[in-house]
Chain A
Amino acid sequence: MISAIFFSVLLVLGFGFFTWNVLKVRNNIRLGRDVQRNDKKAERMKTMLLVAFGQRKMFTRIVPALLHLMIYAAFMITQIELIEIVVDGISGSHRVFKDALGGFYTFLISFIEVLSLLALVATIIFLWRRNLLKLPRLNMSEMKGWPKMDANMILFMEIILVSCIFTMNGADEVMHLAKTGESYGFAVTSTLGPLLFDGMGMETLHTLERIGWWGHIIMVFAFMNYLPYSKHFHIFLAFPNTYYSNLEKKGKFTNMEAVTKEVKLMMDPSADPFAAPVEGADEPQRFGAKDVTDLTWKNLMDSYTCTECGRCTSVCPANITGKLLSPRKIMMDTRDRLEEVGNNIRKHGKDHVDGKSLLGDYITEEEIWACTSCNACVQECPVNIDPLGIIVDLRRFLVMEESKVPTELTGMLTNIENNGAPWQFSQADRLNWANED
């Protein structure tokens, strides 16, 4: 009884805190500008199924993809067992589905056990790879400190979780054997259980089983509530984030409507330049982005979805050749700044200004000017994040609001404006090539 009450309280607290955190993230994402991503529903659904559910882009790198798949599959399938744990926890029953499901139950738990074992192996390999093998993309400067700890923490949690499952099922197996002379017949613990716990007294076994059971469920709640603070939030956000992917050709940069209006006015001789703005017209927005609130909600969702895997950075030509730019850092900076802005708003109200901004305090001009707009990062990202979109908007702010353009580019732009080519050639000479040898 006591434990059922304790469990129920834990359940409510766990889900309550999680919901609160998710709403916080949702509000932060909604600080972004609007962008339309509600069209082509069928194509969006397909993209989500392929990229998030089917992990298609992961499989360009087969080894980590398989290891990741083991953990992913174990995670997905263990949720089924969780239903039983919740029912048992509230009602005080023990393995409530066992009799109802019969042989299928044995199959299901066996399946979970096998996947958990694979996940355990994968987790250990991941820990080794991250900490001992020193894979370059997992050990760059932006990964020092918290991001590295975050990555390791979740791997440790995974190990504890799986150990709890095996302790629970293993001890239970030995007890069941002693009581009924029969095995549960679960794939892993029917061997592992006796191996570890044979000869122990019933009392001890029962305690071990409870430790495993409670440990498991407590880890699940801890994990769930840790997610919104971690790069591992991608396990949820990968789905909406791929659903709302940019479906246009990658080469197409967004059109700035505000500029179109002004350019049309300039080119239309009959337009009245002093016409009063239309009633209810939006407040003029700044050109490009200086801070996270100038980015679109999709850019912001991208930042929360980033897994910090560094695939983008490892293919970035600028980064490969030693420039400061790292598309992963662009995403991490965006998220960090967004958290900061969100916290400020919650603490000090909507109009609070902290004198900081994404451009300048987090991302430097040097970084954004190193980008070749090659789209390698966008192509590579396993959850369809678009770092280039952010880089371009930061450039737009620098150029159009601050007139901060690298000197050589000023020349290029002036040439285009004066003679219709990025170099100083006269437009009248454009066809000269046809008459030269």
Chain B
Amino acid sequence: MSLTVPTMAEMMAKGESPEILFWVGCSGSFDDRAKKITKALVKILNNCNVNFAVLGAEESCTGDPAKRAGNEFTFQMQAMMNIQVLDGYEVKKIVTACPHCFNTLKNEYPELGGNYEVIHHTQLIQELINQGKLTLKDGGTFKGKKITFHDPCYLGRANDVYEAPRELIEKLDGELVEMKRCKTNGLCCGAGGAQMFKEAEKGNKEINIERTEEALELKPNIIATGCPFCNTMMTDGVKNFNKEEEVQVLDIAELIATAADL
């Protein structure tokens, strides 16, 4: 199935304006693994005829890693440029598959003049299912599969979104199993706070190994998450234990796209 990905500029040229902007994010645009998540989400959006658009080459980093690294200048430059673009297109509502973009756009742009309704893709997918726009097939794809959910810090603790991803997993015909440290007590994957872009400080273990170990104790078939960075960290962790044959690391969007046979 080919994807339909209209850009804001194209829409504008046609005199149209979409209901919602899909903020793809740097990871979703450039990282090979994350691009698959991006596409899975677009499949869902296309399937449900959601009137959306992306910024394409006009999108730029939200500035999240700069802000977490303590460089407020770079962050605010990025934010102000993005706000100019977003306001130029009169964007009202944004969906993103990256909790870091989500947090920054939602919480940190308003004080700089950017006010939008921002939702995480798991929330949008949940809405689509609740509205009956998206139906999952009883294909039995996940029958008997154990799925555990790793809470991304910037979705969970940072923004109190715990239920949307879980409700989606529960809609699959698999079984949701929880790690001991979950929801408010979830353990970080190790990527946040700009750690993704540097080596960890000296210690006796990598954080993603600690977290993957905990997930693997449940003997899951799938480790689900809702963040491209968590995905990378958990995927590396699973490889470290040579478990990539038995355990898949998948985004909620990918699970749902599969279950809806898209």
Residues of A within 8 A of B (CB): 60, 248-253, 255-256, 259-260, 262-264, 266-267, 287-288, 315, 317-318, 320-325, 366, 369-376, 378-379, 392, 395-400, 405-406, 408-409, 411-413, 416-417, 420-423, 425, 427-434, 436
Shortest C-beta distance, B18 to chain A (Å), equals 15
What's the Cα separation between A379 and B73 when bound, in Å? 28
A251:B159 contact, CB within 8 angstroms: yes
B210:A317 contact, CB within 8 angstroms: yes
Contact of A323 among B29, B54, B103, B200 (CB under 8 A): B200
Beyond A416-B65, A416-B66, A420-B61, whether A252 also contacts B201 by CB under 8 A is no
Q: Inside 8 A of B60's CB, which chain A residues have their CB?
A: 420-421, 427
Contact of A420 among B38, B78, B198, B209 (CB under 8 A): B78
A376:B202 contact, CB within 8 angstroms: no
Which has the most chain A C-beta neighbours within 10 Å: B24, B61, B202? B61
What's the Cα separation between A433 and B154 when bound, in Å? 25
A249:B160 contact, CB within 8 angstroms: yes
Q: Inside 8 A of A396's CB, which chain B residues have their CB?
A: 70-72
Digit string of B189-229 for contact with A (CB within 8 Å is 1, else 0)? 01111111111111111110111000000000000000000
A366:B202 contact, CB within 8 angstroms: yes
Task: Find residues 65-120 in chain B having any chain A CB closer than 8 Å to their own CB.
Answer: 65-74, 76-78, 80-81, 103, 106-108, 111-112
Shortest C-beta distance, B188 to chain A (Å), equals 4
A-B residue pairs in contact (CB < 8 Å), sample of 23: A250-B159, A252-B158, A259-B73, A263-B76, A263-B77, A266-B77, A267-B80, A317-B211, A318-B207, A320-B205, A321-B203, A396-B70, A396-B72, A398-B70, A409-B69, A412-B65, A413-B66, A420-B60, A429-B30, A431-B7, A431-B29, A434-B3, A434-B5
A417:B74 contact, CB within 8 angstroms: yes
B158:A250 contact, CB within 8 angstroms: yes
Q: Inside 8 A of A287's CB, which chain B residues have their CB?
A: 72
What's the Cα separation between A6 and B29 when bound, in Å? 78
Beyond A251-B159, A255-B111, A416-B63, whether A372 also contacts B72 by CB under 8 A is no
A263:B73 contact, CB within 8 angstroms: yes
Q: Inside 8 A of B59's CB, which chain A residues have their CB?
A: 420, 427, 430
Contact of B207 among A255, A263, A372, A399 (CB under 8 A): A372
B71:A413 contact, CB within 8 angstroms: yes
**Dominant secondary structure at the A interface:** helix
What's the Cα separation between A69 and B192 when bound, in Å? 36
Task: Find residues 4-63 in chain B having any chain A CB closer than 8 Å to their own CB.
Answer: 5, 7, 24, 26, 28-30, 35, 38-39, 42, 54-57, 59-61, 63
What's the Cα separation between A366 and B198 when bound, in Å? 13
What's the Cα separation between A135 and B213 when bound, in Å? 23
Beyond A321-B204, A375-B153, whether A416 also contacts B192 by CB under 8 A is no
Q: Is B157 an interface residue (CB 8 A)?
A: yes
A374:B153 contact, CB within 8 angstroms: yes
Contact of B56 among A320, A323, A431 (CB under 8 A): A431
Q: Is B187 an interface residue (CB 8 A)?
A: yes
Residues of B within 8 A of A (CB): 3, 5, 7, 24, 26, 28-30, 35, 38-39, 42, 54-57, 59-61, 63, 65-74, 76-78, 80-81, 103, 106-108, 111-112, 153-154, 157-160, 181, 184-188, 190-207, 209-211
Shortest C-beta distance, A181 to chain B (Å), equals 59
Q: Inside 8 A of A374's CB, which chain B residues have their CB?
A: 153, 157, 188, 192-193
- CB nearest neighbor in B for A412: B197
- CB nearest neighbor in A for B202: A323
Contact of B193 among A373, A379, A399 (CB under 8 A): A373
B103:A251 contact, CB within 8 angstroms: yes
Shortest C-beta distance, B55 to chain A (Å), equals 8
Q: Inside 8 A of A417's CB, which chain B residues have their CB?
A: 74, 77
Contact of A324 among B71, B194, B201 (CB under 8 A): B201
What's the Cα separation between A143 and B191 when bound, in Å? 29
Contact of A252 among B103, B192, B206 (CB under 8 A): B103
What's the Cα separation between A416 and B68 when bound, in Å? 13
- CB nearest neighbor in A for B35: A433
Q: Inside 8 A of B192's CB, which chain A residues have their CB?
A: 372-374
A399:B69 contact, CB within 8 angstroms: yes
B7:A413 contact, CB within 8 angstroms: no
Q: Inside 8 A of A253's CB, which chain B residues have their CB?
A: 67-68, 108
What's the Cα separation between A325 and B76 when bound, in Å? 28
What's the Cα separation between A323 and B203 when bound, in Å? 4
What's the Cα separation between A430 and B23 when bound, in Å? 11
B5:A431 contact, CB within 8 angstroms: yes
What's the Cα separation between A431 and B202 when bound, in Å? 38
A322:B112 contact, CB within 8 angstroms: no
Contact of A379 among B42, B72, B157 (CB under 8 A): B157
B61:A422 contact, CB within 8 angstroms: yes
- CB nearest neighbor in B for A264: B80
Contact of B197 among A249, A255, A324, A408 (CB under 8 A): A408
